[in-house]
Chains A and B, each alone.
Chain A
Amino acid sequence: MVSSVISSAALLAAALQEAAPAAAAAPPPPEIVGADTAWILVSTALVLLMTPGVAFFYGGLVRAKNALNTLMMCFAAFGVCGVAWALLGYSLAFGTGGAYIGDFSFAFLSNVGVDAKGTIPHVLFMAFQASFAVVTATLIAGAIVDRMRFGPYLAFIALWTLFVYAPIAHWVWGGGWLSKLGVLDFAGGTVVHINAGVAATVAALVVGRRKDFGRQAMLPHNVPFALLGAALLYFGWFGFNAGSALTAGGGAAQAFATTMLAPMAALTIWIVLDFTRTRRATAVGAATAIVVGLVVITPAAGFVSPQSALAMGALGAIPSYYAILWRSRTRLDDSLDVLAGHGVGGITGAILTGVFADAAWGGTSGLLHGNAGQVLKQATGVVATIAYSAIMSFVLLKAIAMVSALAADAKAQGRGMDITQHGEEAYTNGEGALLVLEDREAEPLVRPAAVAPAGGVA
């Protein structure tokens, strides 16, 4: 994506110069453009808002006793994945390196300054990419909520950012083999969504099912949170996709429009599917549909026309809709359907990008514009990502499991992950809470008679 966008930005710059006779004939050496910098600054902040978006989307869909744990799984990625990215991840992804991985030239953010990378400061490009790395890791949480212990989870997402996300980002955006092959991935359909969807499925299998899975209905405790999360994701995704143009010109506007339209079409189709199946359109379904529409358009945002974006959103809703129905009839406890939403949605988007891509709208043409081979290239990217992500995620989880148990025991799951992992509750009224004062710790606590009389009840 980066190379093709930079080249299209250069073409744009050349075209602008032809229109302005005062400008020099030769393209200038790379220099920082204020408008581009301003837009990427805003985009970076928008993408950072997607992490709380995922947190509330997932947090609303779990049971009340696990709400904080689910939110924390997402927020904690700001910490461990952000630091991992700054220390090594960025360098492994965007250092020159070879076909498969970068190098250590930017390790510890050395040599990352305010010099130009494209038309924006290098340090800003690093920050923009960091916001992607963080949100990608949080997506995995949806498959292992309600049961994975917090420590092993943190270890997993930090290592995953370095050993899985960074290499695949290098393949596609850092000048690696998939970008040389000509795979189109504008903002991260393979790097972010297929990658996270596959890793999530592997994690669900390795960590194991929740206590009472398949015996007991586990219902969302706050559907308004899920809708709020979907809204934050929709908002933040404009930075994710339109920001991936890395300029503030027509490419960003195109990606903005396609990103707006695809979820609209996906939501409409989802409501139709819901209506025809159960005669009711569900709110959880609407929140899911918006996310699926966004996932589907992500690889294509800067390569297709707005009309194609509508078609992609509409078509893309269908496989994910039926994947969710299928998953809930299996023994796979991918609790919040990361596979159906991000994995299946990402695959659909990557393939449809090869169908709808149009050279007139940037990039190369796809099947509908006379280049059937692009679909095959897209499929190569999909298969390579699935294979690498699945194998490496499995290895990392098994390595962590040798040191520490991945899943909380049944008793801890029964009490809830909020109390057992964090010593906090999301919804407590404070009744019966006794203040523990440090200096009185030696004295025995006097229990109020009203609270527990002799021979108390329960």
Chain B
Amino acid sequence: MKLIVAIIRPEKLNDVLEGLYRAEVRGLTVSRVLGHGGETDAVETYRGTTVKMELHEKVRLEIGVSNPFVEVTVRAILESACTGEVGDGKIFVVPVESVYRIRTKEKDEAAVTPALN
């Protein structure tokens, strides 16, 4: 099992969710974060005070997947989150020791397999 952490542009979130849905990846956590990836700073002006916005709004996705799904998930994000410009984001694949599903107490592979209702 791996934990896939992806940092993407907020305006690409919808495309990424669509891409993941098509790749049949279900179950993820989304959070709004601030970050910087070397892209041009946006310059804003408030009443004569000019500021450079060093931190940009980004969205972080966290997806726990079983090993056969790692490649599929990463490719889906790579395709859907890309604009080709600096600041598109990163994907980290992190090893996971164990996973539990709270509702059923299932462990590991069973816990990251989509639940059938």
Contacts and interface: CB of A to CB of B under 8 A. Distances in A.
Interface string A395-420: 00000000000000001001100010
A451 B53 CA distance: 11
Given A216-B14, A415-B11, A433 B35 contact: no
Interface in A210-232: 212, 215-216
B86 to A, nearest CB: 10
Interface string A62-103: 000000000000000000000000000000000000000000
Interface residues of A, number: 25
B51 A458 contact: no
Interface string A419-456: 10001110010111111100000000101000110001
Contacts of A215: 14
Nearest to B58: A458
A436 B50 contact: yes
Contacts of A415: 11
Contact of A212 (B14, B53, B56, B89): B14
Interface stretch (B40-48, B65-73, B94-102, B109-117): B40-48
B51 A424 contact: no
Contacts of B55: 431-433, 451
B75 interface: no
Nearest to A212: B14
Contacts of A452: 36, 38, 54
A212 B14 CA distance: 9
A216 B17 CA distance: 11
Contacts of A26: none
Contacts of A25: none
Contact of A436 (B38, B51, B83): B51
Nearest to B9: A414
A423 B41 CA distance: 12
A253 B100 CA distance: 71
Contacts of B14: 212, 215-216
A452 B86 CA distance: 15
A457 interface: yes
Contacts of B41: 434
Contact of A435 (B38, B42, B51): B51
Contacts of A456: 35-38
Majority-rule SS of B interface residues: strand
Nearest to A211: B11
Contacts of B35: 456-458
Nearest to A452: B36
B33 to A, nearest CB: 8
B29 interface: no
A424 B9 CA distance: 19
B31 interface: no
Contacts of A430: 51
Contacts of B46: 424
A321 to B, nearest CB: 29
A424 B45 contact: yes
A318 B7 CA distance: 47
A256 B56 CA distance: 50
B43 A432 contact: no
B44 A432 contact: no
Nearest to A445: B52
B104 interface: no
A393 B52 CA distance: 39
B34 interface: yes
A135 to B, nearest CB: 27
Contacts of B90: 457-458
B42 A447 contact: no
Nearest to B54: A432
Given A433-B53, A451-B55, A458-B90, 13 more contacts: A414-B12, A424-B46, A425-B44, A428-B44, A432-B54, A432-B55, A433-B51, A434-B51, A434-B54, A436-B43, A458-B36, A458-B87, A458-B89
Interface of B: 7, 9, 11-12, 14, 34-38, 41-46, 49-56, 58, 83, 87, 89-90
Nearest 4 Cβ contacts at the A-B interface: A432-B55, A414-B11, A458-B35, A458-B37
